């Protein structure tokens, strides 16, 4: 649920960009970047979600 709650933040765009960077898809660079404790909190939420996500079943494709 903490990952879902990022959707209600005023800095949603920065959160999305950070998520993209953490999964290797893009850069977290924005004009108003997350900083300090906010950056650490959002990073921890995303990293925990990535570490505990369920595995996808093998579809045999």
Tens of pLDDT, residue by residue over 28-57, are 889 989 999 999 999 999 999 999 988 888
Q: What local confidence, expressed as pLDDT, does residue 26 receive?
A: 87
**pTM summary value:** 0.80
3-state secondary structure the chain: CHHHHHHHCCCHHHHHHHHHHHCCCCCCCCCCCCCHHHHHHHHHHHHHHHHHCCCCCCCCC
Token pair recorded at residue 55: 């595995």
């Amino acid at each position: 649920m903490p990952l879902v709650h990022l959707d209600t933040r005023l800095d949603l765009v920065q959160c999305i960009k950070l998520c993209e960077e953490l999964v290797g898809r893009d850069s977290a660079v924005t004009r108003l970047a997350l900083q300090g404790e906010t950056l650490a909190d959002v990073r921890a939420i995303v990293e925990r979600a990535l570490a505990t996500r369920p595995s996808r079943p093998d579809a045999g494709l």
